[in-house]
């Protein structure tokens, strides 16, 4: 390992072999202590008789029937300070049988990945990145949903965020204030009544967050939802 020294060297000490070994031993002991008897998510973990779950309802303009997504969680190390929830399985139900085959395949694959353990969050980005060649649709609030698969990804995302496994992108206070100011400025300039969802109706789709919230102000396109800004 190379290390660049940018400050003046005012003293030095050579770490003896014994000291180094002692340090490594101490580290290992710590690992053993923490790792002792701790449950982790893995394939061989037996499914308990009862699991707690959450059901999300999804309504798309593509079908008259809603889709119900149920995610059941496994509680690991219950009652200890290391207690954590991990998503264990997913079921999707609908009266609409049109997508039955691939939806079933998808839920089985997602459940299998979760049961293997590891970080369950990467699936969200994979699903949200699926675009329907027939085109997506807009949700309430001007959010563009590129496909039904992406919508399932969003439901999983909100579940993982609620569990605290996935961190949301929190906007800084001053950035929020700046966007509020921009929004008011825009409304005053165009004398628009703000849309029910909160973004001006002239707003265009933001390339970063997929919400119809990007406005042109003073030669810059600014997204009122995520703050993405490009000046041209």
Q: Which residues bind Zn ion (CB under 5 A)?
A: 206, 208-209, 223, 225-226, 228
Nearer to Zn ion, 92 or 206 (CB): 206
**What's the CA gap between 141 and 194, in Å, rounded?**
12
**Cα–Cα distance between 212 and 208 in angstroms, integer?**
11
**Between 72 and 225, whose beta carbon lies closer to Zn ion?**
225
Choose between 103 and 223: whose C-beta lies nearer to Zn ion.
223
Q: In the bound complex, what is the minimum distance in angstroms from residue 116's beta carbon to Zn ion? A: 33
CB closer to Zn ion, 7 vs 169: 169
Instruction: Measure CA 146 to chain center.
Output: 16
* Token code pair at residue 70: 């149920």
Would you say 117 and 40 are in contact if contact means Cβ atoms under 8 Å apart?
yes
Q: Measured from the CB of residue 177, what is the shortest distance to Zn ion in angstroms? A: 17
Rounded least distance, CB 75 to Zn ion, Å: 36
Give the angle 221-227-228 at the CA atoms, nearest 5°.
55
CB of 32 to Zn ion, least distance (A): 46
Which CB, 39 or 228, lies closer to Zn ion? Answer: 228
Nearest 5°: the CA angle 122, 143, 90 is 40
Minimum gap (Å) between residue 178 Cβ and Zn ion: 14
- For residues 40 and 80, what is the distance between their CA atoms, to the nearest angstrom? 13
Which of 124, 96, 95, 130 minimizes the C-alpha distance to 110? 124
Return the number of the residue (83 or 180) whose C-beta is nearest Zn ion.
180
Closest CA to 91 of 113, 112, 70, 73: 70
Shortest Cβ 226–Zn ion spacing (Å): 3
Tell me the C-alpha distance between 125 and 129, whole Å: 6
Residue 24 burial (CB < 10 Å; 0-12/13-18/19+)?
A: exposed
């Amino acid at each position: 390992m190379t290390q660049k020294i940018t400050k003046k060297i005012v003293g030095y000490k050579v770490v003896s072999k014994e000291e180094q070994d002692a340090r490594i031993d101490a580290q290992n002991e710590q690992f053993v202590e923490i790792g002792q008897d701790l449950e982790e998510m893995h394939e061989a973990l037996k499914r308990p008789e009862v699991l707690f779950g959450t059901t999300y309802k999804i309504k798309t303009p593509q079908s008259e029937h809603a889709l119900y997504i149920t995610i059941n969680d496994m509680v690991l190390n219950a009652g200890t300070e290391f207690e954590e929830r991990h998503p264990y399985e997913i079921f999707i139900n609908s009266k609409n049988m049109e997508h039955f085959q691939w939806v079933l395949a998808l839920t089985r694959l997602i459940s299998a990945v979760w049961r293997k353990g590891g970080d369950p969050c990467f699936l969200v980005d994979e699903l949200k990145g699926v675009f329907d060649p027939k085109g997506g649709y807009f949700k309430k609030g001007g959010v563009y949903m590129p496909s039904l698969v992406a919508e399932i990804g969003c439901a999983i995302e909100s579940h993982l965020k609620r569990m605290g496994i996935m961190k949301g992108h929190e906007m800084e206070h001053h950035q929020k204030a700046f966007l509020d100011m921009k929004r008011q400025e825009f409304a005053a300039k165009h004398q628009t009544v703000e849309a029910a969802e909160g973004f001006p109706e002239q707003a265009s789709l933001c390339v970063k967050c997929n919400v119809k919230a990007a406005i042109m102000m003073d030669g810059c396109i600014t997204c009122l939802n995520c703050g993405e800004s490009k000046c041209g």
